[in-house]
Amino acid sequence: MTQLVLHNYDLDDACYRVRLVASCCDLSVELRNVDMFPGMEQVSPPYLTLNPLGRLPILETAEATLRQTGAILLYLAGLDPQKRLLPTDTSELAQMTDWLFFAEHDLSVATTARAISIMDVPGDGPATLAQTRALLRIMEDHMSAQDVKGLGFFAGAEITLADLALFPAFALSRDCNIDHDAFPALRLWARRVRATPGFIVMPGIPDYH
Amino acid sequence: MSETGWVPIALSRCIAPGTSAGTAVHGAEIVVWRDTGGKAHAWEDRCPHRGMKMSFGFVRGDHIACLYHGWEYDETGTCRYIPAHPDLEVPPSICVTRYAVAEAGGMIWTALPLGEMPEVGPNAPEMDGLRSLYIDAPLDAVLAGLHTLALQVTQTGSLITATLGETRPTLGLHSIDADHSALHITLPSDTPTAIRLSLLDQLATLRRDVEAPLKETAQ
């Protein structure tokens, strides 16, 4: 298979989503570590040539340069010969996509809240925290309903790309002082995600299983 | 708060064997954890070493370990192992404070005042845990909202039974602190899935209604 190159920063949760999905799909990705904090290397001239948006992750494939995390995740899940993270059922695939967009679009405020909290990025800390908490509550309500239906994951009975895309925001929420006390359904779900073959952690997510 | 007696602090099914979670009762922080043998524990949520929350830690067999430095405590709350000094016989005076714990009606309970060990356990009917609903409002406001929404509301101690639509859930009342509450929602085990889902929607509406006036005041 062609070599994949991930421009990566270990403490960035979007880069972690890519490493996590690659690992769970048993794909090898070459890491190029970028000094995002405090070096801001992602907005240096060579990196702006690679990604004018000035952010990570960036995945270079033999044919293209991908810079939207969601697109990178879908590409990796499609490369997996077993396609284990992509439902075959059309409705489940739609639900997976719904939550994938939630993770990449709505939940990006969680990334912002965490960056304000631990990386000195300017922004409205209390407002982003309140929004993050409201989004985690939407996830908690959904998983409470999934529990009633006997479904252990966001899009159905099996883990999909959506679960791995959503996991970091919940697992890292303590970095901005949102603890897990009020999210029992998400705690049980996170435990199931952790049991996925290939699951890996990042700094800030304790590895205790 | 002068409340005494048993209070529910979690749904039994939400604390899986080998896991821990943090909560609070009237502002006092508690770690609820279940050992791998299935026995539930409720302790003060503080490691005597550096004050770290034990609920951030992890369960190993019948011990719970602190996330900071891995100090491990046995089911009596006594420290048994300090990883930085693996050969040390740990002095038995290093202990986490334990509280009363019981399981009944699909819920885990502790007793107030914390540290009290009642001889008789909580009295609750056999039920299935549905979900714990956390609400950013004082328990009084939640109760007022429940009386508006539900019919035939009857309260015994920390339990409320109320008619909501086609079902009659039993709700465990939990005051987390002056501004936060939880309802531990249980149902008879033969309740159909569609009715369970409809109850989830009604209770989410209750949460929205109870929180809305408080949010307006805050703005």
- Kindly compute the dihedral angle of the four CA atoms of residues B147, B153, B154, B160, in this order, to the nearest 10 degrees: -70
Q: Does residue A186 share a domain with residue A110?
A: yes
What is the distance between the alpha carbons of residues A175 and B126, in angstroms, rounded to a whole number? 39
B206 CB within 8 Å of a chain A CB: no
Compute the radius of gyration of chain A from its Cα atoms. 17
What residues make up the domain containing A41? 5-79
- Please say if the pLDDT value at position B72 is more than 90: yes
Of A44, A60, A79, the residue at which a domain comes to its end is A79
Q: What is the pLDDT of residue A2?
A: 63
Residue type, B3: E
Q: What is the CATH number of the domain that holds A10?
A: 3.40.30.10
Q: What is the pLDDT of residue B120?
A: 95
- Please say if the pLDDT value at position B2 is more than 70: no
For chain B, the first-to-last Cα distance in angstroms comes to 28
Pairing of strands B79-81, B72-73: antiparallel
**In the structure, what pLDDT confidence band is assigned to residue B217 with cuts at 50, 70 and 90?**
confident
CB contact under 8 A, A184 and B10: yes
In a domain, residue A208? The reply is no
Q: Does residue A100 share a domain with residue A12?
A: no
Q: What is the CATH number of the domain that holds A118?
A: 1.20.1050.10
Q: Does residue A25 share a domain with residue A113?
A: no
**In the structure, what pLDDT confidence band is assigned to residue B149 with cuts at 50, 70 and 90?**
very high
CB contact under 8 A, A144 and B22: no
Q: Does residue A97 share a domain with residue A55?
A: no
B187: which 2 tokens? 């149902």
B188: which 2 tokens? 């008879």
Average pLDDT of span B51-67? 92
In a domain, residue A49? The reply is yes
B14: which 2 tokens? 């939400």
Q: Total domain count for chain A?
A: 2
For chain A, the first-to-last Cα distance in angstroms comes to 32
A181 closest CB neighbour out of B21, B58, B196: B21
Nearest to B186, CA basis, from B6, B13, B30, B3 = B13
* Mean pLDDT in order along chain A per 10 residues (209 residues): 89 96 97 94 96 96 96 98 97 98 96 88 91 97 98 98 98 92 97 97 84
- Please say if the pLDDT value at position B128 is more than 70: yes
B197 CB within 8 Å of a chain A CB: yes
Q: What is the pLDDT of residue B148?
A: 94
What is the distance between the alpha carbons of residues A117 and A103, in angstroms, rounded to a whole number? 20
Average pLDDT of span B117-145? 96
A133 CB within 8 Å of a chain B CB: no
Residue type, A106: D
Nearest to B215, CA basis, from A20, A130, A6 = A130
Of A79, A102, A129, the residue at which a domain comes to its end is A79
Specify whether the CB–CB gap between B8 and B107 falls below 8 A: yes
Domains with residue ranges and CATH for chain B: 5-112 (2.102.10.10), 128-218 (3.30.310.220)
C-alpha of A25 from chain center? 14
In a domain, residue A204? The reply is no
A194 CB within 8 Å of a chain B CB: no
Q: Does residue A48 share a domain with residue A119?
A: no
CB-CB neighbors (< 8 A) of B21 in chain A: 180-181, 184, 187
Q: Give me the phi and psi of B44, to 5 degrees please.
A: -60, 135
Instruction: Provide the 10 A C-beta neighbour count for residue A151.
Output: 15
Nearest to B109, CA basis, from B3, B1, B190, B191 = B3
In a domain, residue A101? The reply is yes
- Please say if the pLDDT value at position B1 is more than 50: no
